[in-house]
Amino acid sequence: MGYFVKNRVIYRKFQAKSEQNKFRMNTLSRVVITGVGLTAPNGNNLTEFRQNLLNGISGVSTIETHYMGNMIAGVCNFDPLKYQKKKDVRRGTRAGSIATYCANEAILDSSVDFPNQDKSRIGVYIGITEHGNVETEHEIYNISQHNYDVKFWTHHHNPRTVANNPAGEVTLNLEITGPHYCIGAACAAGNIGIIQGLQMLQLGEIDLAIAGGVSESCQTFGIFAAFKSQGALAEHSDPKKASRPFDKNRNGIVVSEGGCLFTLERLEDAQKRGAKIYGEIVGYAINSDATDFVLPNPERQGECINLALKKAGIKAEDIDIVNTHATSTPQGDIQECEMIRKIFGNCKTTFINNTKSFIGHCMGAAGSLELAGNLPSFSDNLVHPTINIDELDESCRINNLVMHKPHQAESVNYILNNSFGMVGINSVLIVKKFLSQ
């Protein structure tokens, strides 16, 4: 009996200690962003992407899809042959090419001595909304042209459609032998890929993380058909005006592809090699709505934000930029605005923006791309605007919503990034400006 009493006392002491530390990240290794590689509908590197965000330049255009014809979409225009051979592109997937391009760009940007890096200590963690639909749809369409004779089905189908494919293609390309996998987290996935990289660094499992999100969504007709049947697919005579969060006449999502991967390192490792540091990840949270397949729950979203703030050890008024998830759906935008007003409504120096108005909804890549587009604010103190708001929906009116042109802030020290997804998954990241000590 004494054994159980003794162990109950030890457990309670451990529980109390855990309770003290559970919201704070400062007892763990500090993790920083040292490299950014991306492709978006309006830019193929951070400099180009950022400049177009500041200049109000949309990247939304159209794409030809099976069965449905020409559809409004965000399509990337990167060169896959910059880092892959023609054979690799032909054998692999669009998502794999996007991931490979972004990973190579991030490594170059980080200036890490990659050839001499222990490849078994590098982890690749990529958030995805879904994977395999594009390849499956293309193959079904192909055999439909041959009376559904399966001899015309590609023998590359299985490795193309496994869920770890985009991350796996990165390891094949860069000869990385450490862990790799994809995290299926709907449209919250871009943030969650970064969170996974951070956690693995803090656990000491790896020394360098390549983390973020990718999407090839606009290459599949199924997602267009589904959103159209829901009445949630954007329509506009001018594709560049189709993605219009918070606008009174918004009518749905612009489906887009893209990718953004970061190199993440423990602070001491980055400083030891004299790396440039984009920012430090100081808070994060993931939770679930547990209410509906599609409709968001603003209360749970708010809880996710508050949990991230607690982990960062800061208050709402400390946040300088909130990048909204808002997808341009009528109800979703309103609910997020209600939640933002509740948390940040009295924060005089917290500014709100949206990136999807420029690029559409890049699904699994959305969170990581949206974070990347705001990181340069730590240097120039500019908050990029939300475009395409011709007439603001009064239900979406929030204090300090940056519209039409950039806002020059006095300083930018904290960025909070919202990403929410179907089946009720929410993710929030907080990144802090790094000041060398």
Residue 86 has pLDDT above 60, yes or no: yes
The overall average pLDDT reported for the chain is: 94
Specify the pLDDT at position 359: 98
Q: Is the pLDDT of residue 26 over 70?
A: no
- Percent of the chain predicted with pLDDT > 70: 94
The one catalytic residue among 236, 361, 384, 407? 361
Task: Output the 3-class SS for 391-405.
Answer: CECHHHCCCCECECC
pLDDT higher than threshold 80 for residue 55: yes
- What is the rounded average pLDDT of the residues 294-305? 95
**Distance, CA of 255 to CA of 316 (rounded, Å):** 31
Question: Is the pLDDT reported for residue 25 higher than 60?
Answer: no
String of DSSP letters for 303-356? HHHHHHHHHHT--GGG--EEE----S-HHHHHHHHHHHHHHHTT-TT-EEE-SH
Q: How sure is the predictor about 351, in pLDDT bands with cuts at 50, 70 and 90? A: very high
Active-site choice (131, 180, 236, 325): 325
Topology of domain 31-272 in CATH is: Peroxisomal Thiolase; Chain A, domain 1 (3.40.47)
Q: Read off the pLDDT of each residue in 237-249 and give the average, rounded to a whole number.
A: 98
- pLDDT(369) > 50: yes
Region 393-407: mean pLDDT is 98
Give me the half-sphere count of Cα atoms (radius 13 Å) on the Cβ side of residue 227: 25
pLDDT average, residue stretch 172-181: 98
Q: 284-432: same fold as 31-272?
A: yes
pLDDT of residue 45 exceeding 70: yes
Confidence of residue 28 (pLDDT cuts 50, 70, 90): confident
pLDDT of residue 13 exceeding 60: no
User: What is the residue extent of each domain of the chain?
Assistant: 31-272, 284-432
pLDDT over 80 (residue 282): yes
pTM higher than 0.85, yes or no? yes
Q: Which position among 76, 102, 182, 187 bears the catalytic label?
A: 187
Taking residue 72's Cβ as centre, other Cβ atoms within 10 Å add up to 26
At residue 27 the predicted structure's pLDDT band, cuts being 50, 70 and 90, is low
Active site (annotated) includes residue 347: no
pLDDT in tens, 327-349: 999 999 999 999 999 999 999 99
User: Is 325 a known active-site residue?
Assistant: yes
Assign 1 a pLDDT band (cuts: 50, 70, 90).
Answer: very low
pLDDT value for 7: 54
What would be the CATH architecture of the domain defined by 284-432?
A: 3-Layer(aba) Sandwich (3.40)
The whole-number average pLDDT for the span 236-265 is 98
- Closest to 169 (Cα-Cα) out of 236, 90, 225, 237: 90
**What is the Cα–Cα distance from 70 to 425, expressed in whole angstroms?**
31
